[in-house]
Amino acid sequence: MRAGTQNRSGGPSSLNTAVLADRYLAPGETTRNDVFKRVAHALSVAEQPGQRAHFTRLFYANLLQGAIGAGRIMANAGRVNHGTMVNCFVHPIGRGGQSVADASDVERALHQAQITLQMGGGVGYDFSVIAPVDAEQAASNSGTESVCAVLDAFDRVCATQALINTRGGAQMAVLRCDHPDLTAFVTAKRGRKRWSTFNLSVAVTDAFMRAVADDGLWCLQHPAVPNAQRLAKGARVLSNGNWCYAVVPARQLWNAITEAAHDSAEPGLLFIDAINGANDLAEIETIAATNPCGEQPLPPWGSCVLGPIDLSRWVQWPFGMGGQPLFDFIGLSQAVRVQVRMLDNAIELTRWPLPEHMHEAHAKRRIGVGVTGLADALTMMCLPYAAPAARCMAAQIGRCLRDNAYAASAALACERGSYPLFSPERSLASGHFSAALPKAVREAVARHGLRNSHLLSLAPTGSVSLAFGDNCSSGIEPAFDWVYQRRVRTQHRAPQLYRIENRAYRLFRALYGQHAALPDYFVTARQIDGFDHLRMVAALQPSIDASISKTVLLPHGTSCAEVGALLFHAWQLRLKGITIFRPDSGSGDILSVLPALVSRPACFC
């Protein structure tokens, strides 16, 4: 028996139905299958007319097997509305080549953000081009505001948009580790509800992390000219042309970051040198920010269409019922190849908020095949999430995703042409991502090129896992719990509490009965050591050309020092980013295991 072939886990819960109706059903639709039919038909329009019926059936079958689109695809494909099928965007604040953004740049960026948010896209920004709070404004008459003041303006725009769109808006604010406003930025959310539409991240460099390790000094710098008082104190121009505002102990800044992360789960860290070092397009683009959930590092105007595959559908003989559990890699391989085609079609068919998005997307054709239900799949295979064998299985799954996604993209390039900026010398060079592909796939890339510059992205999958995955575990996260409460707001009504059960748990109960003891491989997020969370990301990262969104859930009693050790170890593992969360019973509650309460800024993909 395969989990996806014979579903004995019961029907969808009232929450699954409520989320489906609130976010994904078009007028006249009543079921998930109605959504699947609409999406499959809409995305087949990019095919040749004589092939559209065939690909409609192929996409529909793939959707039924758990290879779905991310939230914007499922909500907007085939609908007569102004929504986009693209979840992820990164916007510049200034114009190309500018090192300091002025007031007109900020106004322009606010307008561009509003258009994108109205169409359902989440946006990330690098705010490092904003002059520090004490920059000399009179000299340039720029009217530039501080980073925190600019974020206030972007937050207001997004919060207003949330009143129009039931999904709400999601944004990411990134600031470099050497920006003079860094301390104010990382402490802005501590102890108060500020910037509710934003997730915060600090872009940390290897040089900064080495300074932290060595207890060295760190220069806070910016191209903006300091004010006269600062100049009188000896501000100086550095060799890179920036002004040095202050020299402080690196660990002083590190402590501010870790204390803020400990208290408010923010900021997360983006290891920006690891991100750019692993980017196959590093010669032609520089990445300084990510989308709101962090799984997609993107250049200015970059975007990505996403589509997770429910891994729990590919487990044969789950929990050992009828035989030794096995993972159907052949079935997953086929699903990945179809998924690549469907997501590539979305680039052709989606509505773009801005022309800049379309031009950047068509030049590089980024897509993000991802997963959901990893923890459920491991549990069905009788593997505890934190066990080395579970990480080994996850790594095998990652390689299956990678190899088949790149093979499918090479086949699409043969049929439709490579992405315009493709260079075989660059992509197949030693040390690039493609160098790790199997020989046959590399040869296909050499012959035909690649249709897509990036193909893999592991995102959170909150609402689609509810609406289309029967509440399977989200993304690559461990199961939050097996039975718990979730507070959800729909149709602008007051939030309502729902009791829900994890999909793998319901399947186990259907197979073994309500009174059977849960085996020890049933492990929840709160039972997993923080370092084991990181080890799972490290097992998957070599197979993912974009990045991985993963929150390390820590016990409430975790100390600041322990948080700092986790953040530092993530850098040592060469991960691309990390976010931690320490539940606080005094916070606003989204998830609850009676009586504890947990919350995170919403970011539905």
Catalytic residue positions, numbered: 291, 293, 295
Axis crossing angle, helix 530-540 with helix 560-572, rounded to the nearest 10: 20
- Contact call for residues 90 and 173 (beta carbons, < 8 A): no
> Among positive and negative, which fits the CA dihedral 507, 512, 515, 517?
negative
- Alpha carbon 531 to its chain centroid, in Å, reads 20
Nearest to 7 by CA among 376, 516, 514, 515: 376
* CA angle (476 as vertex; 474, 477 as ends), nearest 5: 65
- Cβ neighbour number for residue 297 with a 10 Å cutoff: 28
Name the maximum alpha-carbon separation found in the chain: 79
Q: 317 exposed, middle or buried (CB, 10 Å; 0-12, 13-18, 19+)? A: middle
The CA distance from 69 to 339, in Å, is 8
3-state helix, strand, coil in the chain (%, to 5): 45, 15, 40
Cis amide leading into 267 (omega within 30): yes
Within 135-232, strands assigned E span: 171-176, 198-204, 217-222
The CA distance from 527 to 373, in Å, is 18
Q: Are strands 198-204 and 171-176 parallel, antiparallel or unpaired?
A: parallel
Q: Which helix (H) or strand (E) holds 326?
A: strand 326-327
Note the residue count of the chain: 605
- b/e per residue, 408-442, with b = 16+ CB within 10 A? bbbbbbeeeebbeebeeeebbeeebbbeebeeebb
Q: What are phi and psi of 214, to 5 degrees?
A: -95, 0
Nearest to 276 by CA among 267, 265, 284, 268: 284
The CA distance from 170 to 158, in Å, is 7
At 353, the amino acid letter reads P
How would you list the strands of the sheet with 88-91, edge to edge? 367-372, 303-310, 88-91, 122-126, 171-176, 198-204, 268-271, 577-581, 551-553
